[in-house]
Structure 1
Amino acid sequence: MENSANDAASGAQDLPSAEPQHAASTLVRGITVADALGLSSLAGTTVLAGAAGLDRVIRRLNVMEVPDILPWVKPDELLLTTGYPLRNTPQGLVGLVRDLAERDLAAVAIKLGRYVDELPAEMLHAADRLRLPVLRLSDEVAFDDVLNQLLTDILNRQAATLARVEEVHRALVNVVLAGGGLAAITGELPALLDGGVMVTTPDGRVLASSGVPDATRTDRRFFDTSSGRFHVERFKHGVRALDDEDARVVQVPVLAGGLDHGRVVLISRERRIDPTDVQVLERAAATAALVITRDLAVAAVESKYQGDFLRDLLTGGVGDPAHAVRHCATLGWDIDRPLVVVVAELDAEPATPVPAAGDLRPAHERFASAWTMVVRDRDPRAAVAGYSQEVVAVMGADRPGGGECRTGALVRSVVAQVSGDGGGGRRPFATGVSRVVTRPQDLPAAYLQAKQAARVGRQIHGVGAVADFDDLGVYRLISLVPDSAELRSFTEETLGALAASGDPEADDLRGTLEVLLDNNLNVAETARVLHFHYNTLRYRIGKLERMLGPFTTDPNLRLDLMVALRVLRMRGLR
């Protein structure tokens, strides 16, 4: 036998780790069985069974000298044998194949003719079923040649990997030392990785990118085209991405201080992702974590000061308007123009345990960060600040560069982008929009309008409401009534039996009444909207008048009915 190792069980040879052991066991992929068959030391080798597993990776080499080899078998090994330990136990070969496959062996290579003439058909069938390659070595193959050539090949691959990773490491260190940000990090990587690279938030909002084609950005497989959010939930992390048949996308988390700050994502252009790419991205993620924590430390001080000043501005505590305009300009804000105040309030959620280390940042921090990023993208001169469970934005009421726009539509587009498509574990929120103001001293009143619009909008429309103060109408007055019991009493006295909820007949008649009043008692139009026959609707109107009074001829009663119906629409007042 060619290998005369002192170990009585085997002559295993492990490769030196290119990284700490936990990383090397997953990232150093070695050489596939199919590639190994192309080496000169394995010339003449044939595949007896398990051809479907030729993509298994060889990281180690072992020589089988005794029958009880299992305790010494490690994952990703090529097990070489002359068949000597198997000569007296052909009946146990099927079980041996199963046990080796369970231990993730790469392949078994055997010399036939000296101790074992042929392998049992049952063993080969089992190898096919388990996708474990069984190779027949030619008589001329020497084990030491196989060991030397395979080890040399794998070590050369590792050396190339380390050289590539070291090149990236030097480039990224230079970025940090030069004070560069995330854009500088992503700018260095596409040429080294032959693909587009992004840094995103944990839920996929792009913070910086380079080399990502426009066609990819509009591809729904990768991005939510309405918000521009990358679908982080659709793609695997780290080495798990390599398990895909045609891996073209891989992402690595950016972790620092027990917090998840985002993802570094590679979208390959034409080639398959390989283990080196994952190692490079891990280096990039570590560098991104340094940059993000540095920027967060600076931003925390700046945002505290800016948030305090914006709070004073919105509560009328800054004094001279001219001074406020000048000071806002030093912060990059422009309040000397038509403005609207937007308030976004997170909906309440049930109490949850204190998050464990490694959980995402608190919801209100992520919420404020998302609003700041989206609003500043639309209006770089806007003021944005987060306060506990709300975010306040003071935005221009016209498009940058001139030209009027519908402020409500602009705000709704911002809300849609912040909300994305619901991925990333976002909490719902309600948004209120003030009237347009033209003077800085009017901002406190606009802030109260936006808060009222957010609160009333949530009561009217529920989760995800977006309400303009000017569109609240009578709801503004109803919301100012502090006594909910008095409002309920009013609706019960006005609507009678129709005020009851959960009664199908009452709900149906109340719906008919509401559409009829909204159409100014136009019977033909109401019948068309409700898909009723004209006479059917006339019959229902008669029934409603017997229950409520002559509302078709009494305008005061109609007014009471319309107000009562609006009260019923307000959530939490029933």
Structure 2
Amino acid sequence: MVKVANDDVRIDGDLTSSRADAAVSGVPLSTVTELPAARGAVVVASSGQLQAPVVRTVALVDALDHLETGEPLGHRLVIAPADALGDALSTRPEVAERLAGAGVAALAVTGVSSEEASWRDVVEQAGIPLLLLPGPTSSEQLNTEVLGAMLDYQTSVLDRLEEVHRVLVQIVLAGGSLEDLCEQLAGFFDGAAMVTTTDGRVLASAGVHGELEHALSLDCFDRTGRLITENEPVGIRALRGPEAHRAAVRIVAGALDHGLLVAFCSHRMLTGDDVRVLERAATVAALAVTKEQAVSAVESKYRAEFLRDALAGRAGSVEEAIAHARSLGWDIDRPMVVVVAETDEDDAHTTRSPEEVRSLQHRFARAWTHAVAVRDPGCPVMGFSQEVVTLLPVTDTADTDKIMRTVSDVARVVRGDGGGGRRTFSTGVSRPITSVAQLPQAYDEALNAVTVGRQMHGDGALTHFDGLGIFRLLALIPDSKHLRRFVEESLGELATDDSPENADLRQTLSILIDTNMNVAETARLLFFHYNTLRYRIVKLEKMLGPFTTDPQLRLTLALALKVHQMRGI
């Protein structure tokens, strides 16, 4: 019977050694303690040390020679007769610390009697796990059984790799999906598995015995359900802490990175061997991803052509357009708004390669498709060049505020709290429409909203067409030089920020005009004393003219302030 003693001894060392343990493929020390030769042994080791791998055995005399020559002893089980170990430590107590520093997996001491307390204390203080084998157990017997266990373990690892590869390839060849792959992997790990995009959006997932629900509750997911990939290391991890219960590898096909394959297991830590299984599975997942992308590319081509025709008014009669959309899995026979999301980065003038731009745009469109599909699978979503167009359904009674809250919720999910290397984007929303025939007009409204909204509010703007106001007309002027000249001529020195006071004076002028020259109300809004505001008005009239009494001048100044507010002018 194996007894585990002194579980509070020093364990694991630093993070580097723990990660090295995870990378090594060997039989766990706990398996060694269960061999027939170790029957009745007293084990002095922590639970963490029992999971460390043993890759080789070495006699004490050879281990001491290795110390002298500087050869590594990492993950080796040192087998030592009790009397020989006692003699070595009595003359050279530093040997224990040197063995610990060399990274030995454990000391298996044979022929232990009740008089070993002195050298046992020295070994325990050095933090080396101990297997104390009393009685007649021979070093040769233990060595033979450990080598046999190592061989069996390596064979089982190779068999497992081949089995995973065979089963998963068969799933793909039989037409299985990423969900099927994840379901099979979850069974292999007795946990959960998922496929995510490169920025962490979950594409497929599966789990056993509540493991998936447990995984999704971890803090490695943000509030939108996105895996925070920027904080997740890829490959082998340290054998400690909550991160040791999950592992991630990249899904790569050629030079393209398609995402991550992630495994979770709440009841055990995932080792380097588990990561190797996951890497083998990732090659099969890459095949499934590229297959799905090929099918999706063909479907997307037909969908894009139809939606492009519908937005341009070339989709035929209303009945034909509705029927065609239904054949593509879309429902457009209902009230809806057109939402245009456009990346703020200008892909026409970028240092990125064309391949990278296409990959980023594909990721952007896929993020919108995923976010909208959760709400309504029949909602059309399609990526065009630098924009993504969505025909978002609304209720007959939905007002502008409710529509904008819905669009804002979807956009927040797409942004994923700003993580995963996403690019910022601006969004424009049309007025509600009730017929497919109104799509061209609504699309034009959404395009105006996204363009002018970015000018009004900067990158990341979310703008409804009805919120554009006078900016709709100003945006129609094709040459911004004319607008800039108009601002400079109307506002004079206030058109610049050469003086810190200019911005304050522009704000005062803007609120005066907005309140219809109500001095008391303007003073209240600006938290000014009434006389202070009167002084500012006199100063503004000296700079701009008698705008308090000239309505035409007020209109000119109001327009100039609106143009000044627009970006890129």
Within a 5 Å distance, the mapping from 1:404-423 to structure 2 comes to 404=398, 406-423=402-419
Q: Distance in 2 between matches of 1:484 and 1:510?
A: 21
Within a 5 Å distance, the mapping from 1:97-496 to structure 2 comes to 104-107=103-106, 142-158=138-154, 172-173=168-169, 175-211=171-207, 216=214, 219=217, 221-225=219-223, 227-240=224-237, 242-244=239-241, 247-274=244-271, 277-348=274-345, 351-352=350-351, 354=353, 362-398=359-395, 404=398, 406-496=402-492
1:417: Cα distance to partner?
Answer: 0.8
> Secondary structure, in 3 states, of the residue corresponding to 2:237?
helix
The one-letter code sitting in structure 1 at the alignment partner of 2:338 is V
Over 3 Å counting, the alpha-carbon distance change for 1:522 and 1:158 in structure 2 is farther
Q: Distance in 1 between matches of 2:364 and 2:48?
A: 48
Contact 2:247-2:262 within 8 A present in 1 as well:
yes
Q: Distance in 2 between matches of 1:333 and 1:473?
A: 33
Render the CA deviation track for 1:2-36: whole Å, top value 9, x for unaligned: xxxxxxxxxxxxxxxxxxxxx9993634213x764
Confirm whether residue 75 of structure 1 aligns to residue 71 of structure 2: no
Over 3 Å counting, the alpha-carbon distance change for 1:360 and 1:425 in structure 2 is farther
The one-letter code sitting in structure 2 at the alignment partner of 1:259 is L
Q: Distance in 2 between matches of 1:176 and 1:144?
A: 48
Contact 1:27-1:279 within 8 A present in 2 as well:
no
Q: Distance in 2 between matches of 1:232 and 1:140?
A: 54
Over 3 Å counting, the alpha-carbon distance change for 1:326 and 1:286 in structure 2 is same
Over 3 Å counting, the alpha-carbon distance change for 1:202 and 1:543 in structure 2 is same
Q: Distance in 2 between matches of 1:217 and 1:493?
A: 62
Q: Distance in 1 between matches of 2:220 and 2:135?
A: 52
Q: Distance in 1 between matches of 2:255 and 2:92?
A: 50
1:243: Cα distance to partner?
Answer: 4.6
Q: Distance in 2 between matches of 1:548 and 1:510?
A: 11
> Secondary structure, in 3 states, of the residue corresponding to 1:430?
strand
Contact 1:248-1:271 within 8 A present in 2 as well:
yes
Contact 2:235-2:247 within 8 A present in 1 as well:
yes
1:291: Cα distance to partner?
Answer: 2.0
Q: Distance in 1 between matches of 2:354 and 2:155?
A: 41
> Secondary structure, in 3 states, of the residue corresponding to 2:517?
coil
Contact 1:341-1:446 within 8 A present in 2 as well:
yes
1:445: Cα distance to partner?
Answer: 2.5
Aligned residue among 522, 535, 544 for 2:540: 544
> Secondary structure, in 3 states, of the residue corresponding to 1:392?
strand
Contact 1:67-1:86 within 8 A present in 2 as well:
no
> Secondary structure, in 3 states, of the residue corresponding to 1:560?
helix
Q: Distance in 1 between matches of 2:211 and 2:559?
A: 54
Over 3 Å counting, the alpha-carbon distance change for 1:48 and 1:412 in structure 2 is closer
> Secondary structure, in 3 states, of the residue corresponding to 1:247?
helix
The one-letter code sitting in structure 1 at the alignment partner of 2:235 is G
What is the aligned partner in structure 1 of residue 562 from structure 2?
A: 566
Report the TM-score when normalising by structure 2: 0.80
Over 3 Å counting, the alpha-carbon distance change for 1:215 and 1:540 in structure 2 is farther
Render the CA deviation track for 1:460-515: whole Å, top value 9, x for unaligned: 11121111122111111111112222211211222122111242111121122223
1:424: Cα distance to partner?
Answer: 1.0
Confirm whether residue 557 of structure 1 aligns to residue 556 of structure 2: no
Contact 1:67-1:85 within 8 A present in 2 as well:
no
> Secondary structure, in 3 states, of the residue corresponding to 1:420?
helix
Over 3 Å counting, the alpha-carbon distance change for 1:436 and 1:154 in structure 2 is same
Over 3 Å counting, the alpha-carbon distance change for 1:353 and 1:144 in structure 2 is farther
The one-letter code sitting in structure 2 at the alignment partner of 1:496 is G
Contact 1:50-1:128 within 8 A present in 2 as well:
no
1:224: Cα distance to partner?
Answer: 1.7
Q: Distance in 2 between matches of 1:106 and 1:330?
A: 64
Q: Distance in 1 between matches of 2:553 and 2:168?
A: 74
Over 3 Å counting, the alpha-carbon distance change for 1:240 and 1:257 in structure 2 is same
Q: Distance in 2 between matches of 1:255 and 1:241?
A: 24
1:419: Cα distance to partner?
Answer: 0.6
What is the aligned partner in structure 2 of residue 62 from structure 1?
A: 58
Aligned residue among 526, 530, 533 for 1:534: 530
The share of aligned pairs that are identical, in percent, is 44
> Secondary structure, in 3 states, of the residue corresponding to 2:65?
coil
5+ unaligned residues in a row in structure 2: which ranges? 1-19
Q: Distance in 1 between matches of 2:242 and 2:375?
A: 40
> Secondary structure, in 3 states, of the residue corresponding to 1:424?
coil
1:540: Cα distance to partner?
Answer: 2.1
Q: Distance in 1 between matches of 2:217 and 2:232?
A: 14
1:155: Cα distance to partner?
Answer: 4.2
1:222: Cα distance to partner?
Answer: 3.1
Render the CA deviation track for 1:79-126: whole Å, top value 9, x for unaligned: 44679899999999969965x66764434567899xxx99999x969x
Q: Distance in 1 between matches of 2:137 and 2:535?
A: 99
1:50: Cα distance to partner?
Answer: 12
Q: Distance in 2 between matches of 1:128 and 1:517?
A: 81
Deviates more, 1:318-327 or 1:169-178: 169-178
Render the CA deviation track for 1:123-178: whole Å, top value 9, x for unaligned: 969x967x566888879553212212323344455556566666655654554344
5+ unaligned residues in a row in structure 1: which ranges? 1-22
Q: Distance in 2 between matches of 1:291 and 1:48?
A: 48
Over 3 Å counting, the alpha-carbon distance change for 1:313 and 1:566 in structure 2 is same
1:42: Cα distance to partner?
Answer: 5.4
Over 3 Å counting, the alpha-carbon distance change for 1:523 and 1:303 in structure 2 is same
Q: Distance in 1 between matches of 2:216 and 2:133?
A: 52
> Secondary structure, in 3 states, of the residue corresponding to 2:432?
coil
Contact 2:28-2:50 within 8 A present in 1 as well:
no
Deviates more, 1:231-240 or 1:561-570: 231-240
Aligned residue among 496, 499, 506 for 1:503: 499
Render the CA deviation track for 1:44-82: whole Å, top value 9, x for unaligned: 988999999676431222335383565764632224467
1:534: Cα distance to partner?
Answer: 3.2
Over 3 Å counting, the alpha-carbon distance change for 1:478 and 1:94 in structure 2 is farther
Contact 2:426-2:461 within 8 A present in 1 as well:
yes
The one-letter code sitting in structure 2 at the alignment partner of 1:419 is R
Contact 2:192-2:215 within 8 A present in 1 as well:
no
Contact 2:161-2:277 within 8 A present in 1 as well:
yes
The one-letter code sitting in structure 2 at the alignment partner of 1:329 is R
The one-letter code sitting in structure 2 at the alignment partner of 1:393 is T
Contact 1:51-1:128 within 8 A present in 2 as well:
no
Aligned residue among 25, 29, 32 for 1:28: 25
The one-letter code sitting in structure 2 at the alignment partner of 1:239 is I
Deviates more, 1:386-395 or 1:279-288: 279-288
Q: Distance in 1 between matches of 2:47 and 2:188?
A: 34
Over 3 Å counting, the alpha-carbon distance change for 1:217 and 1:449 in structure 2 is farther
Contact 2:22-2:238 within 8 A present in 1 as well:
no
Over 3 Å counting, the alpha-carbon distance change for 1:54 and 1:41 in structure 2 is same
Deviates more, 1:160-169 or 1:287-296: 160-169
Q: Matched residue pairs, number?
A: 537
